[in-house]
Amino acid sequence: MHHSAGYVITSGPDPPSCCLSHSVPPVAMAAWAVGVKAVLLDVSGVLYDSGGPAGGTAIPGSVQAVNRIRESGLKLRFCTNESQATRGQFVQKLQKFGFSISEEEVTAPGPAAKKLVVERGLRPHLLVHDDLLPEFDSMDKSNPNCVVMGDAAENFSYQNLNRAFQALLNMEKPILISLGKGRYYKETDGLKLDVGAYMKALEYACDISAEVVGKPSANFFMSALAEMDVKPEEGALTSQVCKKALMIGDDILNDIGGAQRCGIRAVLVRTGKYRPSDENHPDVAADGYVDNLAQAIDLLLSSKVSR
């Protein structure tokens, strides 16, 4: 990867030695924090852990961290692959946990898939969570010519997977659209298989490749940047779109790898689905590693203040 001049990408939380020599507390000078004007936040595993009767629990310090981003004047957008509910229901849940968040601030794969299906005149067979169904209410679903799958959770039954498979095999040219391709995520009672695992099952059975809507798709990150009016650097390469933006997530491939391929810096939190082996991933190195969102925002705002 090519790094242009002006900032240094570190592969860990340690600051470059030049900073240490000025006797500034190291925590204040994370290289990834310099010059950030806009923050993209993953939600599950960063703001809260899903699962349980209440639908999840906030991760300590995250409610305050979101408030501090707002107070700082940084631009903010939530960039999630969650597809277990409409965007409205999702936001209501987060508000109950105490988060300051509105529906208009969320980039989610459900609306993106809906847009794609409408644009191409497709008739979807749905393999999604019951709570996402309203997103597709108005659509013609007769004689389906594509399958749209999201994180269907309990709806990932043997019967429903067979039905989606049979629908695909009945199509002249099977089209499978997947809301994300995550491997797993953390719920309060343990790790759960995400939509990507079931996507692979259908891809293999039908010998096809899915079209992924959501992270790590570059289109999805670009939409999120556009929606908060962050524009590519002047003269930037397509692969180096915006150094002013920072992604914070718990998924080394979909959050960190995906953002970096768009030229967005990306920091991994040690919450949610994080596992220590993520810090030695063979393909992706984050620009920084932090214990949680609160620490990321500490470092980010300290950097802002110190300049």
The CB-of-128 to a second copy minimum distance in angstroms stands at 14
- Of the candidate spans 37-45, 188-196, 213-221, 256-264, the one that interacts with a second copy by CB under 8 A turns out to be 188-196
CA distance 102 to 69: 15
Q: Which of 75, 200, 270, 304: binder of a second copy (CB under 8 A)? A: 200
The CB-of-183 to a second copy minimum distance in angstroms stands at 5
Q: What is the DSSP string of the chain?
A: ----TT----SSSPPPHHHHTTT--GGGG-GGGTT--EEEE--BTTTEEE-STTSEEEPTTHHHHHHHHHHHT-EEEEE----SS-HHHHHHHHHHTT----GGGEE-HHHHHHHHHHHTT--EEEES-GGGGGGGTTS--SS-SEEEE---GGG--HHHHHHHHHHHHHSSS--EEEE----EEEETTEEEE-HHHHHHHHHHHHT--PEEESTT-HHHHHHHHHHTTPPPPTT--TTS--TTEEEEES-IIIIIIHHHHTT-EEEEESSTT--GGGGG-SS---SEEESSHHHHHHHHHHHHHH-
The CB-of-190 to a second copy minimum distance in angstroms stands at 6
7 in contact with a second copy (CB under 8 A)? no
Instruction: Pick between residue 75 and residue 183 the one whose CB is nearest to a second copy.
Output: 183
Instruction: Pick between residue 187 and residue 298 the one whose CB is nearest to a second copy.
Output: 187
151 in contact with a second copy (CB under 8 A)? no
173 in contact with a second copy (CB under 8 A)? no
The CB-of-40 to a second copy minimum distance in angstroms stands at 25
Instruction: Pick between residue 162 and residue 239 the one whose CB is nearest to a second copy.
Output: 162
Q: Which of 4, 57, 95, 157: binder of a second copy (CB under 8 A)? A: 157
| Radius of gyration in angstroms for the set of CA atoms belonging to the chain, rounded to a whole number | 20
CA distance 7 to 162: 51
193 in contact with a second copy (CB under 8 A)? yes
171 in contact with a second copy (CB under 8 A)? no
Cβ(245)–Cβ(77) below 8 Å: no
Instruction: Pick between residue 8 and residue 208 the one whose CB is nearest to a second copy.
Output: 208
197 in contact with a second copy (CB under 8 A)? yes
169 in contact with a second copy (CB under 8 A)? yes
161 in contact with a second copy (CB under 8 A)? yes
CA distance 283 to 224: 24
Instruction: Pick between residue 190 and residue 235 the one whose CB is nearest to a second copy.
Output: 190
Instruction: Pick between residue 135 and residue 194 the one whose CB is nearest to a second copy.
Output: 194
Q: Which of 142, 158, 172, 229: binder of a second copy (CB under 8 A)? A: 158
225-264 mask for a second copy (x: CB under 8 A)? Answer: ----------------------------------------
Residues that bind a second copy (CB under 8 A): 153-158, 161-162, 165-166, 169, 183-184, 190-194, 196-198, 200-207
